Amino acid sequence: MRLAGRVAIVTGGGRGIGRTICLAFAREGADVVVAARSAGEIEQVAGEVQELGRRALAAVTDVSDEASVARLVRRTLEALQRIDILVNNAAIGQPLRRVGDLDVAQWDEIMAVNVRGTFLCAREVLPTMLAQGGGRIINISSIGGRRGRAERSAYRASKAAVLSLTESLSDEVRSLGINVNAICPGGVATRMLRESLPDRDPTMLMAPEDIAAVAVFLASDEARALHGATLDAFGAATGIRAGS
């Protein structure tokens, strides 16, 4: 098992890509902290992790809130004593809306969760990872982080910011044993995508397991040479061009 003995925090772990990453990590031997805002969803996923023979903690967390993120890390250390992997997966989407029709509250909410949340979680785990002599931070961006598109300005801008943050943080900590990398998924069959893009052809979407497999690789020793990298997991249907 590639992640035996390690402890992972997965934000947005209650459903979709996050849930699938939690279960994939558990199958590879990791203990998992499932973090999200919905208690019912994360408790169910934590139970599934335990059924796979691993320890699990369900931690209700608002990643946009500094105190909530600090509490997540504190609870993780109290329960599991270490943090080896952080997956910044929590995000919210955006209904199709032109810039002129997008209000400030909508913009701010997307930036708070998708960008500030990634920053807060990464900043909070760094002291523990530094004390342990290493760790893995995996930021989930999007195909939308590669190129802007009409009516998706806030979401795509937030995901582009995640990529820049990944590169900047990696440059700061790569010599200290911490690998910081990102994944850009293309279209994945999740509830968030269905709600944001209801007309998307479901037969052209990847499964969450496709992205979880990439996350397992980045969390493992096999990816130890990667620092500040972004892996484009666009899938066959969306891999033709980043603006799709």
Q: How confident is the model at residue 197 (pLDDT cuts 50, 70, 90)?
A: low
Position 78 scores a pLDDT of 98
Residue ranges of domains in the chain, CATH in brackets: 7-238 (3.40.50.720)
Residue 198 has pLDDT above 90, yes or no: no
Please list, in sequence order, all residues whose beta carbon lies within 8 angstroms of the beta carbon of residue 104, skipping any fewer than 6 positions away. Answer: none
Which residue in 155, 165, 166, 180 is the catalytic one? 155
Q: How confident is the model at residue 182 (pLDDT cuts 50, 70, 90)?
A: very high
Position 186 scores a pLDDT of 83
Residue 243 has pLDDT above 90, yes or no: no
Q: Which of 8-17, 32-41, 80-89, 145-154 has the lowest mean pLDDT?
A: 145-154
Q: Which long-range contacts (CB under 8 A, 24 or more apart) does 164-172 make?
A: 165/115, 165/118, 165/119, 165/122, 165/139, 166/139, 166/141, 166/228, 166/230, 167/228, 169/122, 169/137, 170/227, 170/228, 171/228
Q: How confident is the model at residue 48 (pLDDT cuts 50, 70, 90)?
A: very high
Task: Over range 43-49, report the average pLDDT.
Answer: 98
Task: Over range 147-162, report the average pLDDT.
Answer: 94
Task: Over range 6-14, report the average pLDDT.
Answer: 98
Question: Is 88 designated active site?
Answer: no
Element at 138 (helix H, strand E):
strand 135-140
Residue 239 has pLDDT above 50, yes or no: no
Position 191 scores a pLDDT of 63
What is the full DSSP assignment across 197-244? Answer: -TTS-GGGPBPHHHHHHHHHHHHSGGGTT-SS-EEEE-HHHH-S-TT-
Nearest 5°: the CA angle 58, 169, 68 is: 30
Q: Please state, in angstroms and rounded to a whole number, the distance separating the CA atoms of residues 239 and 244.
A: 8
Q: Please state, in angstroms and rounded to a whole number, the distance separating the CA atoms of residues 39 and 50.
A: 16
Residue 54 has pLDDT above 50, yes or no: yes
Q: Are 220 and 134 in contact (CB under 8 A)?
A: no
